[in-house]
Amino acid sequence: MHSLLLTHPVCLDHDTGEEHPECADRLRAVLSALEAEEFAYLLRDEAPHATREQLLRAHAMSYVEHVFDAVPHGEAHHHLDPDTVLSANSGEAALRAAGAVVAGVDAVIKREARNVFCAVRPPGHHAERDAGMGFCLFNNAAVGALHARDAHGLARVAVVDFDVHHGNGTQHILWDEAGTFYASSHQEHAYPGTGLAEESGGLGRMVNVPLPAGSGSEAFRAAWDGTILPALHVFAPELLIISAGFDAHVADPLAQLRVTTADFGWLTRRLLEVAETTAQGRVVSVLEGGYDIPALSASVREHVRALMGA
C-alpha cells in the first residue's frame, strides 16, 4: 500500500486577508513541495465534505450553525475573534478540511492506504466544542478521532500534536471522551496559555509537555522519548492521528522553540513505530501550523518522506 495525500482546491480560497500568517501561500508551498519526483508514488485524492453528523461528534450544533451563518458574501470578511477570519469560501474549506481527516480515517481502516497526509486549511486544533479561535474553525483532528471511535468502533484512538502551540481545542473536546488520548509538546506560556503538565484529562487521557522558549532539538526529542511516546505505548492506540504543526521550527516567526527540519522526520518515524506495534500502522496526519514558508515546505517534505518510508 502507498501513502495517500488528501487536499482540495477550495482550501486555497479560504481568504484570511492581507498579511495574515495563516494564508493560502502556506498550502500552495506544501502542495508544490509534494509535486517533486520523490513523491511520485504518493496517492492523491480530493477531500470530501464532512457531514453535519461528523461535525456534531466534536462540536455543538449551535456553534456549527453560527459558523455557517457568519460566512460573508462577496469579498467581505467576518472575524470570529481578532485572529480567526471567515470569507465567502471559508465554510466550504472548513468542511473539506474536516472531511479530509474523516476520509483519511476511512482509508486506513479499510486498508486503501498505508497512511494519510491531509494538506488542508483552515487548521483545527484550537477549535473547541463551541468556539473557534487561533485561526481554527472546526477541529479536524478531533472530528476524525471521534469518527474512528463511533463509526468504526475503535476502542482506543490517539491524537498527538507537535505544533508549537498547545491544541486547547483538541484537549477540550476529548477531555471527557472515553477511549481517546491526546498528547502535546508545545512552548510554555505561548498562545493559548493552556497545556500545563498537570492537565491530565477526565475520561480521555491527556499528556502535556510544555517546553521553555529557546528549547531546541535535545529538549524536544527528550519530551517525546521520555514522556509522550512511553504514555502512547501504554495507551496502545488502534489508530493514531497526528496534528502536524511545523511552527516549532527555529525559523518560524510566531514562537521561539528551536526545532529543526530533521527533528520532524525523526518524530514521524518514532510515531510510525508505535503505530506499527499497536495500530496496524494506521496513521492519519493533518496540517496545523507553520508560518515560515520555506521552513514549512522543507518540514512537510521531511514528514511525508517518513510517512512513505523513505
Please give the pLDDT value at position 227.
98
Quote the CA–CA distance of 300 and 247 in Å, as a whole number.
Answer: 11
Residue 288 CB burial class (10 angstroms; 0-12, 13-18, ≥19): buried
Confidence tier at 297 by pLDDT (50, 70, 90):
very high
For residue 201, the SS3 value is: coil
Helix (H) or strand (E) holding 157: strand 157-161
CA gyration radius, the chain: 17
Residue with cell 468542511: 95
- pLDDT tens-digit series, residues 65-123: 999 999 999 999 999 999 999 999 999 999 999 999 999 999 999 999 999 999 999 99
- At position 20, the amino acid (one-letter code) is H
Cell (9 digits) for 229? 511516546
- The pLDDT value given to residue 99: 98
CA atoms within 13 A on the CB side of 62: 4
Render pLDDT for 150-199 as a digit per residue (tens, 0 to 9).
Answer: 999 999 999 999 999 999 999 999 999 999 999 999 999 999 999 999 99
Which residues are paired to 53 by β-bridges? Answer: none
**C-alpha closest to that of 211 among 145, 257, 271:** 257
Look at residue 310 and tell me whether its pLDDT is greater than 80.
no
The confidence score (pLDDT) of residue 188 equals: 98
How buried is residue 214: exposed, middle or buried, by Cβ count under 10 Å (0-12/13-18/19+)?
exposed
Answer yes or no: is pLDDT of 263 > 90: yes
Query: CA torsion, points 233, 143, 146, 54, in degrees to nearest 10?
Result: -160
Q: Could you tell me the CATH superfamily of domain 4-307?
A: Histone deacetylase domain (3.40.800.20)
Q: How high does pLDDT run on average in the chain? A: 98
The pLDDT of 126-137, averaged and rounded, is 98
State the average pLDDT over residues 38-67: 98
Catalytic residue among 14, 59, 126, 186: 126
Written as nine digits, the cell of 246 is: 511545523
77 catalytically annotated: no
197-249 per-position pLDDT tens digit: 999 999 999 999 999 999 999 999 999 999 999 999 999 999 999 999 999 99
Domain ranges in the chain are 4-307
Mention every residue, 6+ apart, whose C-beta is less than 8 A from residue 264. Answer: 162, 246, 249, 299, 302, 303
pTM: 0.98
- 239-251 pLDDT tens trace: 999 999 999 999 9
Q: How many CB atoms lie within 10 A of CB 160?
A: 29
How far apart CA 55 and CA 296 sit, in angstroms, is 28
Asked if pLDDT for residue 1 goes beyond 90, the answer is no
8 A C-beta contact, residue 39 and residue 77: no
Q: What mean pLDDT comes out for the span 262-269?
A: 98
